[in-house]
């Protein structure tokens, strides 16, 4: 009987942990008066006890579709395995010279044999040696609590434990001198907090796709 009571008590405690109130952070991104897509928000806990431990490495995928990286911006946490499937009918040669991850996948079609382990925080800028306009970004976050804004400019981070955090924001065209790149905030249990972030963007200098002759689309 004692073991049954112990089991019930353990189950009750586990249920309480699972139902513990969690906070939500909504970051509203704007630039030039408009909602900003593909902006990254990361909540970095200042209390290290909040950092969960994953039982196995998370995984993510960056596709190559119609000679573009899809999605254009991907957000993952440190320790994520990333696959780069090529869904085009031609070969691509994906590479990055970024300090956070330097790699090169020689010309290939289909799915590479092994995913890449991103074990350092930072921005990984992707390119293709064959198609100059193909650019993409992987933001490797130092925290598992992150979100990316959609067309409405909102990045919502849910299920945050109460505590103090540092908010880190990023966008591929963000000016390095932005005063809104990082600041601290506090979340109470079961609270919902909204942050309004206005970023100043650099011009988009990406190479443009070259049209094929005869109206046959773009190479």
pLDDT of residue 47: 82
Instruction: Express as a percent the part of the chain with pLDDT over 70.
Output: 79
Q: Containing domain of residue 58, as a range?
A: 54-142
CATH number of 79's domain: 2.60.40.420
124 and 76 share one domain: yes
pLDDT tens digits for range 19-68: 456 899 999 999 999 999 999 999 999 986 666 665 678 999 999 999 99
Could you tell me which residue, 12 or 122, shows the higher pLDDT? 122
CB atoms within 10 A of CB 153: 19
Q: How many domains does the chain have?
A: 2
CATH number of 179's domain: 2.60.40.10
Residue 13: inside a domain: no
192 and 85 share one domain: no
Residue 107: inside a domain: yes
Q: What is the mean predicted confidence (pLDDT) over 81-108?
A: 94
60 and 136 share one domain: yes
65 and 105 share one domain: yes
Query: Would the pLDDT of 129 be above 60?
Result: yes
CB atoms within 10 A of CB 117: 13
Q: Quick one: DSSP state of residue 20?
A: -
Task: Characterize the bridge pairing of strands 80-83 and 59-61.
Answer: parallel
Report d(CA 135, CA 6) in Å as an integer: 56
Residue 15: inside a domain: no
Q: Residue 3: pLDDT band by 50, 70, 90 thresholds? A: very low
- pTM for the model: 0.83
58 and 138 share one domain: yes
pLDDT of residue 18: 41
* Residue 210: both structure tokens together: 């070259």
41 and 81 share one domain: no
155 and 47 share one domain: yes
């Amino acid at each position: 009987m004692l073991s049954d009571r112990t089991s019930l008590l353990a189950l009750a405690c586990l249920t309480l942990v699972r139902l513990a109130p969690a906070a939500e952070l909504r970051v509203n991104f704007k630039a030039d008066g408009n909602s900003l897509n593909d902006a990254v928000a990361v909540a970095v806990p200042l209390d290290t006890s909040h950092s969960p431990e994953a039982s196995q490495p998370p995984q993510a995928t960056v596709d190559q579709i119609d000679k573009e990286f899809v999605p254009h911006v991907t957000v993952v946490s440190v320790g994520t395995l990333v696959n780069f499937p090529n869904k085009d009918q031609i070969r691509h040669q994906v590479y990055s010279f970024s300090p956070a991850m330097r790699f090169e996948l020689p010309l290939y079609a289909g799915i590479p044999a092994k995913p890449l382990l991103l074990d350092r925080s930072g921005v990984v800028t992707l390119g293709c040696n064959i198609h100059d306009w193909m650019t993409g970004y992987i933001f490797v976050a130092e925290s598992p609590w992150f979100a990316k804004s959609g067309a409405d400019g909102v990045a919502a981070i849910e299920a945050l434990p109460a505590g103090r955090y540092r908010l880190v924001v990023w966008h591929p065209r963000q000016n390095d001198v932005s005063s809104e790149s990082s600041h601290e905030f506090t979340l109470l249990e079961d609270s919902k907090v909204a942050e309004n972030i206005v970023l100043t963007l650099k011009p988009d200098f990406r190479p443009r796709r070259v049209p094929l002759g005869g109206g046959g689309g773009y190479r």
